[in-house]
Structure 1
């Protein structure tokens, strides 16, 4: 994120749009906490809380998005969105301009790894400049595509389904569900968990956010918690970057508190938390209580130490220092690790006896990728996955459609081809090709392509500046 003063997001009474911005980012973090709560909720309590889940409003994005990315794993991806709607009880936060649609400045992809190994909240900065696709609306009309626009413009233009489509287009990660939250339930959620621990590096008495706390540790909730997450001038260096980090720590502390035995094993506290959160939620209609129960079965053993918070790899936009852009190739490599995040099948935990793999590192292997799958963009996606594994990649173009994936090699490329072939589930036998460049491996991607075996053990690499729910709340203050 950019620390340029012109880039700062104001949340006090001096803001150009104070009512529209207020309380924004934390609601996205709270929605992560609520989703995590759904994941780890006790199954024995499921029947007691089913009625509370009936508070949730549902929408159907499948009818609006159209073609979706292919799912390569059994992970679960839930897009968490904040909405500044003024409908219903949210009118207390001020009136929107006439006919102005709700906006979303908080977009976080909650990635739940297969088997309950880990969960990650991936934040997309609201000023991220990317292509915005044309989106179908509920009334049957469509929005115009933009070759370059702020990512939050997708929500304003077409709501949750358009933001889902936009993120799928840049990441090729299939989004399974969405959770949209407005900011009215925030104070109730923080109170329902019994307050959230925070650590202040100095005394704060800020009349703009109305936060008044002494230096050191505190447990805050309700109005005080809302003032804390709004505060910008009273803490840190006043930058948006600094405040986001502080809010990530708050989210981690909230999730850690919600996942503690004191909340989840106490039926009264758990019911209070779910009721506080679900009244503020809209989700896709497929995110039913039954699906939530399945999530709990798969992820119930996850500890808060396995919950990570990151920002998608990005940096200053070359065209506008007050905006940000994806940082490449880091962003594509990161998206690839999300797409290919898999549990390791038992039969692949170790090499088979008598079949040692050639000891040539991927960095010494040049691969030319051809698309014979019949799926648009498949060669580029496979190329991204290969690059994430360290291969040197050149995406060439299309070949006639074929079912079987093939590995070809030129003179001196037999061992390199064997390394690549060993990473493909169908293990195609490398074939010599006289017309191929010496030492170069050619991969012809067929319709049977799934993913690389090595991706199953690679996991999601640690990201710069990531935060865990169990981190010391005073670190970095």
Structure 2
């Protein structure tokens, strides 16, 4: 970039225009350098965030043996942004791999389980949503799942729901949920321990009100009943606690997890991310750094488009429920879907 300004030489010796041109040229080159540096930094940020995301080709692995996709209305198909209904399986993984996860989760560094499972149904128009939690203690029929080696697993009856992820990863988790619900999962999102904690910290913590004291040595959480601003470590502990509340089952924990989801949505919506590039990057890095998606959401562009399509969805219009369950006849410490209520709930999400 060259900036040249021709002005009258009041000195009469012809030196002033030359000096001005040199100064302005230097300024122009400096500005050009800053611009190039900015573009380069933006390019690196995009590359970094894009390469943070891990993905699994679930559609390719499962093929056509799945529930049908929802048919979008003509108005949804004509919208500049996607506006049709969506069903997204969201899993919280208790993976201990990596130093950050090990410090937060402890325990064995091998393997992982789906510690939290939620089916997020977004209504057509994307102004309202329903989040359905599936207790991990639910006994299900786990279908035959493809394995990375090219084989298949055997069908298992009356097995723990979260065994699907342990055995066959995201592909088997999606197939098991679709078998249980009869609902097609349009997308898959998984975030691990450290990613959730980093996200909560990036948005400044979450405010949650507990109705009873929580005293759980296993999750390292000790809270008096009341309202608390929780950092990432304590929010994760709240999401995982089960022995310090209620009867110690997974059902009591689900209520806390649903409170956390709404609190996190409210905090994100109240945080001026667009006016703070540093905070926006911190949030984006926290999310993408611990995220696994299906191949339909495995780029920053696709995630951004999804986020833009949800701009009119507020936390006040997110309903949280749990899949209706009853105690399993075979095991008092396990549950099974309560029918016909569970079937009616899933049918409402198609």
TM-score, normalised relative to structure 1: 0.56
Q: How many equivalent pairs are there?
A: 292
Matches within 5 A, 1:133-212: 133-201=143-211, 209-212=219-222
**Which of the numbers 284, 302, 310 marks the counterpart of 2:321?**
310
For the pair 1:281 / 2:294, whether they are aligned, the reply is no
Contact 1:53–1:274 (CA under 8 A) maintained in structure 2? no
Distance across 2 between alignment mates of 1:130 and 1:187: 30
Match of 1:68 in 2: 66
- Indicate the structure (1 or 2) with the bigger Cα radius of gyration: 2
SS at match of 2:251: helix
Deviation at 1:88, TM superposition (A): 2.6
> Residues 307 and 95 from structure 1, CA distance in 2 versus in 1: closer, same or farther, beyond 3 angstroms?
same
Deviation at 1:284, TM superposition (A): 1.3
Matches within 5 A, 1:354-373: none
Matches within 5 A, 1:249-398: 249-263=259-273, 265-287=275-297, 288-339=299-350
> Residues 169 and 221 from structure 1, CA distance in 2 versus in 1: closer, same or farther, beyond 3 angstroms?
same
Match of 2:4 in 1: none
Match of 1:222 in 2: 232
> Residues 86 and 230 from structure 1, CA distance in 2 versus in 1: closer, same or farther, beyond 3 angstroms?
closer
Contact 2:115–2:162 (CA under 8 A) maintained in structure 1? yes
For the pair 1:83 / 2:81, whether they are aligned, the reply is no
Contact 1:64–1:135 (CA under 8 A) maintained in structure 2? no
> Residues 334 and 48 from structure 1, CA distance in 2 versus in 1: closer, same or farther, beyond 3 angstroms?
farther
Q: Deviations over 1:111-162 (max 9, x none)?
A: 1111112112211111212211111111101111113322211112211111
Contact 1:85–1:102 (CA under 8 A) maintained in structure 2? yes
Distance across 2 between alignment mates of 1:289 and 1:215: 40
SS at match of 2:253: helix
Contact 1:135–1:144 (CA under 8 A) maintained in structure 2? yes
Structure 1 stretches of 5 or more lacking a match?
A: 1-45, 340-477
Distance across 2 between alignment mates of 1:155 and 1:204: 29
SS at match of 2:115: coil
For the pair 1:57 / 2:68, whether they are aligned, the reply is no
Deviation at 1:69, TM superposition (A): 1.5
TM-score, normalised relative to structure 2: 0.74
Normalized per residue, which structure has more helix? 2
SS at match of 2:169: helix
- 202-211 or 126-135: which moved more? 202-211
Match of 1:405 in 2: none
Match of 1:96 in 2: 108
> Residues 173 and 47 from structure 1, CA distance in 2 versus in 1: closer, same or farther, beyond 3 angstroms?
farther
Distance across 1 between alignment mates of 2:139 and 2:247: 25
> Residues 290 and 104 from structure 1, CA distance in 2 versus in 1: closer, same or farther, beyond 3 angstroms?
same
> Residues 245 and 264 from structure 1, CA distance in 2 versus in 1: closer, same or farther, beyond 3 angstroms?
farther
> Residues 267 and 203 from structure 1, CA distance in 2 versus in 1: closer, same or farther, beyond 3 angstroms?
same
> Residues 308 and 54 from structure 1, CA distance in 2 versus in 1: closer, same or farther, beyond 3 angstroms?
farther
Q: Deviations over 1:418-448 (max 9, x none)?
A: xxxxxxxxxxxxxxxxxxxxxxxxxxxxxxx
Distance across 1 between alignment mates of 2:201 and 2:327: 37
Match of 2:27 in 1: none
